[in-house]
Chains A and B, each alone.
Chain A
Amino acid sequence: MTQDDRMASGAIRKSYDGIVACLPVTIPYRHYSTNSAHWWLGRALREIVTRARLRPKDIDGFAVSSFTVGPDTAVGLTQHFGLSPRWLDHIPFGGASGIVALRRAARAVQAGDADIVACVAGDTNHVDSFRKTLSTFSRFAQDAVYPYGSGGANASFALITKNYMNSYGARREDFAKLCIAQRDNALSIPHAMMKKKLTLDGYMSARPIADPIHLFDCVMPCAGAEALLVCREDTAKSLNLPGVRILSTIERHNAFPTDPMQVRGGWALDVDELWSMAGLKPKDVDFVETYDDYPVIVMMQLEDLGFCMKGEAPDFVRSHSFTNEGTFPQNTSGGQLSIGQAGAAGGFLGLVEAMRQLTAQQLGTQVPDAKTCLVSGFGMINYDRGLSSCAAILARAT
């Protein structure tokens, strides 16, 4: 049954009423770390049990996202951390990890399969772990991408960016606007990797990485961890943890496989369901956290999530401002482009920041009167395009 069939028949997906996400946790990032991913994930877990005043055995659901925790998966980590969950998931989905973990955990709690689910993402960054991750990222990357210049995701997204610019007239200055605004949003975040204000000149004259992508179009890989708790609303209240409601979610993998090059993500397939399930329209949300591995993907999200038509994002960018006090607050803590990408934790960054803004626990500047927001995830460049896309509309729990 397609989304259209579902909508036509009036079948709406089950709501997430009664379920909240709470306890946004960030373990401050470091550029390089000699510690293992296990260490970083352990820090995040410890932060969770400390702030929630729980014992590890109270955590009966555990979702993990990490690329550098090998040879372990989630199972090994239960013994490593002394957990005995009755619900376990390993979600190595990169930038889609956060929202996918949220979706899984929420349904588990809703069904009674678990009561308190810790969703944790983290990765370490050794001096050569970036190269190792690239060369073994996926079978298609090994067979059909890495041998071609080994430029990594930067080269792959350079091709996507070039094609998008050729197709829709986006200019580097348009991408600059997004990057500069995000950097402004990050200036008050203590653990941001990028600490200086970014100017247009600084952006335009930055070192080329893979044309047309230059230095400030790229995230900085680093070590770090993000985490949150998913539970029933009454559980959160009893733990004294302000929660965030989930109004709707969508998820899609390998959408539009016949598009010669990626100009849209899976959100375009499921966007109507996202808004109708939440009962909202794009203009209703107070801020947006997009997945910003590259500014071109931010533009695609603006289009595919309903804020403008396909190909109109350059104009949209030119006619809006994206700082927290602007007309379209976006990536309110600076996004990965300013904070850094701690591997799979990058997929949690927007979600955790959204939870902070909605519960007035923000680390940096506050989006005024933040009641609802859209968080988007994307990632898993397998061959020549990001395969995974997801989004969630969240609301402050009253």
Chain B
Amino acid sequence: MPVDLLSFARAVSDGEVRVIDLTQTLSQEFPTIVLPPELGQCARFRIEEVSRYDERGPAWYWNNISLGEHTGTHFDAPIHWISGKDLPNNAVDTIDVAKFIAPAVVIDCSKECAANPDFALTIPFVEQWEARYGKIEPGHWALLRTDWSKRNYPDYAGLRDDGAHTPGPEPAVVKWFVEQRDVHGFGTETIGTDFGQGHHFNPPYPAHFYMHGKGRFGLQCLTNLDLLPPKGTVIVAAPLKIKQGSGSPLRVLALVDGPRK
């Protein structure tokens, strides 16, 4: 059945289809993942002015930027994790581009997270959500709304003596997402898709391990998830086409039906 794309475009420009920006601004101050200092670190976002209508370039302003593949709001490809390293089409430049557009469900645990930074998403919690909003259909992004993006940076990073204390999924629910619900990928507002203390899980970092191990994707440092309905959002998330890239910062757009209520 032919799809009327022009009507879709008009709907977007008319506001009938709302476009919501789920992306944090790339800035120097935004926290990044911090690994033990003896390991390699993710580059921070840095910007150096090349010229600004001055002797370095009289009529133009431009910058050189430097950043890591996993800086700011970013996409994780399966090749990012050891469990996905041998899968076909597992890098950002080889993933089928059709996969960059996909529907999403938004699971809200913001109240629980407000009370407990070590909130872990479990299967029962999701089943409770499904009881209210219906079963999660295959091929959907599972986005975890924690309202973490509203916190100041120190609380957002949640770093203490023993590492980060930020919410995330238990191993079991990740496995379940993949095997029982065939999710497209997992998305969070926090730095990383995994539970802050996820290095103590078995396996460690299960969101990475299981998702990428099964060729699924990750999105992190998302914002504005509180503006999305539990179901019905379509996500456009196309990473940069980096040669054998493990991921990239990107603009994540949510398409939502109907004008603002």
Direct contact of A and B (CB under 8 A): no
Instruction: State the B residues within 8 Å of A (CB).
Output: none
A: which residues have CB within 8 A of B? none
